[in-house]
Amino acid sequence: MPKKATANKTKPKKSTAKKTSPVTSAAKDVAAKAEPTQKNLDIYGAKPLLWSRAVKQLEAGPPGGTFWLATTKPDGRPHVAGVGALWVDGKIYFVSGARTRKSRNLTANPNCVFSVSLTGIDLVIEGIAMRVTDRPTLLRLAQRYAAQGWPASVSGQALTAEYSAPSAGPAPWSLYVLKPTTAFGVASGDPHGATRWTFDQTR
């Protein structure tokens, strides 16, 4: 018997749209949230300063190595002290002895202000200082300090070393962290300008 001729059937190809990687989307969201809201304070026509300009120097460490911490005494008078702070993961970490004036001020009122002079830009950072007591963070910051020349180590819920700045008081030293709420930058070099940055506190 003659065979029936059968046509070769081909399965239709499914057209699939490219899916956006959820990791990429998440990374973009995090990056977007990491950028603070800015307001141009310049009155001479300069553009807003880039926050990344300040961050690059904060991560490298200020040229003079000193941050100035302003706290408030119980009677309302201001107190300013130089501290060796570190900028890590978008926050300022610093140490202070329990009996120092700045530590006593922070216990009563954790609102404080840091100022630092960077190359071409002066910076003021406002926030709330909180004491750090978890061991992983203490160990990580002790290593960061040691890498910069101060041989810190963890002792209980604080840091210790053979020496520190006289203004830090006797060991051990409490570790504090300040998460910026607002920052002000005034450029002393090109490009000039003045900007206020407001940070997302949900991060």
pLDDT digits (tens, 9 = 90+) for 35-59: 899 999 999 999 999 999 999 999 9
Q: What integer pLDDT is reported at residue 165 of this predicted model?
A: 84
pLDDT digits (tens, 9 = 90+) for 133-190: 999 999 999 999 999 999 999 999 999 999 998 888 899 999 999 999 999 999 999 9
Listed residue (138, 131, 129, 104) closest to 181, CA to CA: 129
Joined together, the tokens standing for residue 13 give: 């190809």
- Which residues sit opposite 67 in a β-bridge? 83
Helices marked H in the chain: 22-34, 51-60, 101-108, 135-147
pTM: 0.82
pLDDT digits (tens, 9 = 90+) for 79-121: 999 998 999 999 999 999 999 999 999 999 999 999 999 999 9
